[in-house]
């Protein structure tokens, strides 16, 4: 844990294999802690975690807030609709107000790419010591979701000792609205870093061919890739071919709020070609675990029956694991 160097968590493209190991080990400790009786650890006593969600959220925000409370932090949350933003206050001035109230850690979600990074830069420039954690920015990045998906898969393959090694050589299929998904992007960085091969599957309108090169170069502003050798990224348009030999499948929601034109002829035809069902998984001969970050459109990206089938659906497990992963992140950023 002594190797942890990140002041903020903004994008998994900046994570090394050691960073993933640190988060997974710590998350496992929090995950196996008893959740009844003495539920709270004193690690963040006296620290203030502020959640600033400028975009709707069900899971991420409440998971961060619960994680902070389990570490004994104080928690404050900001609601944009009832704030002075509507009176014309700038985003930075609004955020500075919370910093002036003593926030040690800000969890920020925004519909525009790079807002959390811009806030982190501006706050650092003015000498503020607050840490920024990206709770999802536009299409760009959702690091805590990428980490909880990684943790869930690592625990599936190695329940006692989840580590990046558990992913090495695995074939992980990601199907759905990839072009609009920040979760897909974060998963691409995380899974390939751990040596998994990622098969992306969707129609061309939701998955440009260029995604095959997604992890070939570090993103703008990052000088180099901290990971020496990544798994492969493969684009496969046919779901049955993608699923052949898969070790796990993730499916993502059609992000209608980010689609500015018709990208599909109909939801029914999308479900027929790309929806996950028991029959489809069985046809491919794979009893694979299925993940979805939520919220799920039942009957579109996956059938309701598959979602509810706890023999293969890890969706609830992802939610539970998310608390432990966020505890690990808050601990690493704020306890030091």
Q: Does position 145 bind ligand NCD by CB under 6 A?
A: yes
Q: How many CB atoms lie within 10 A of CB 9?
A: 27
Q: Compute the least distance from the CB of residue 316 to ligand NCD, in Å.
A: 13
Q: What CA–CA distance (Å, rounded) separates 271 from 260?
A: 20
CB of 129 to ligand NCD, least distance (A): 27
Distance CA 251, CA 249 (A): 7
Q: Is 23 exposed, middle or buried (0-12, 13-18, 19+ CB in 10 A)?
A: buried
Residue with tokens 């496992």: 28
Please tell me whether residue 59 binds ligand NCD under the rule CB under 6 A: yes
CB of residue 290 to ligand NCD, shortest distance in Å: 15
H or E segment and range at residue 78:
strand 74-78
> Is 183 an interacting residue with respect to ligand NCD (CB under 6 A)?
yes
Residue 182 found at the interface with ligand NCD (CB under 6 A): yes
Decide: is 292 part of the binding site for ligand NCD (CB under 6 A): no
Residue 253 as a binder of ligand NCD (CB under 6 A): the answer is yes
Q: What sections of the chain are H helices per DSSP?
A: 17-31, 59-70, 91-100, 115-125, 143-157, 182-193, 239-243, 267-274, 278-283, 304-308, 315-334
CB of 142 to ligand NCD, least distance (A): 5
Q: Is 275 in the site for ligand NCD (CB under 6 A)?
A: no
Q: Which of 146, 162, 275, 293 binds ligand NCD (CB under 6 A)?
A: 293
Pinpoint the alpha helices (H) of 101-235.
Answer: 115-125, 143-157, 182-193
Query: Shortest Cβ distance from residue 148 to ligand NCD (Å)?
Result: 9
Q: Is 136 in the site for ligand NCD (CB under 6 A)?
A: yes
In the complex with ligand NCD, the residue whose CB is nearer, 164 or 294, is 294
Out of 294, 313, 315, 328, name the contact with ligand NCD by CB under 6 A.
294
**Cβ atoms of residues 289 and 317 within 8 Å:** no
Q: Does 134 bind ligand NCD (CB under 6 A)?
A: no
- Tell me the C-alpha distance between 236 and 84, whole Å: 47
Binding stretches for ligand NCD (CB under 6 A): 59-60, 136, 142, 145, 182-183, 253, 255, 293-294
């Amino acid at each position: 844990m002594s190797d942890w160097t990140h002041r903020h968590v903004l994008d998994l493209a900046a994570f090394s294999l050691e960073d993933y190991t640190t988060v997974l080990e710590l998350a496992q400790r929090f995950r196996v802690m008893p959740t009844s009786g003495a539920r709270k650890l004193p690690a963040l006593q006296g620290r203030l975690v502020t959640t600033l969600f400028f975009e709707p959220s069900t899971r991420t925000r409440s998971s961060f807030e619960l994680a902070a409370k389990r570490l004994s932090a104080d928690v404050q949350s900001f609601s944009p609709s009832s704030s002075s933003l509507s009176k014309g206050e700038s985003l930075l001035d609004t955020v500075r107000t919370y910093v002036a109230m003593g926030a040690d850690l800000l969890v920020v979600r925004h519909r525009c790419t790079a807002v959390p990074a811009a806030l982190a830069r501006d706050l650092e420039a003015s000498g503020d010591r607050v840490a920024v954690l990206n709770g999802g920015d536009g299409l760009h990045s959702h690091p805590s979701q990428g980490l909880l998906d990684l943790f869930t898969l690592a625990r599936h393959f190695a329940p006692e000792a989840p580590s990046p090694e558990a992913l090495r050589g695995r074939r992980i299929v990601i199907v759905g609205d990839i072009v609009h998904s920040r979760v897909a992007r974060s998963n691409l960085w995380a899974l390939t870093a751990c040596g998994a091969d990622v098969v992306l599957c969707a129609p061309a309108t939701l998955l440009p061919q260029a995604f095959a090169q997604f992890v070939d170069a570090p993103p703008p502003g990052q000088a180099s890739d901290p990971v020496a050798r990544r798994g492969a990224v493969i684009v496969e348009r046919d779901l049955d071919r993608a699923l052949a030999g898969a070790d796990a499948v993730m499916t993502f929601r059609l992000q209608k709020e980010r689609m500015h034109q018709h990208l599909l002829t109909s939801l029914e035809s999308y479900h027929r070609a790309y929806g996950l069902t028991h029959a489809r998984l069985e046809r491919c001969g794979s009893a694979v675990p299925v993940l979805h970050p939520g919220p799920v459109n039942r009957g579109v990206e996956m059938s309701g029956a598959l979602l509810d089938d706890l023999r293969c659906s890890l969706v609830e497990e992802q939610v539970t694991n998310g608390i432990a992963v966020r505890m690990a992140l808050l601990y690493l950023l704020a306890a030091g």
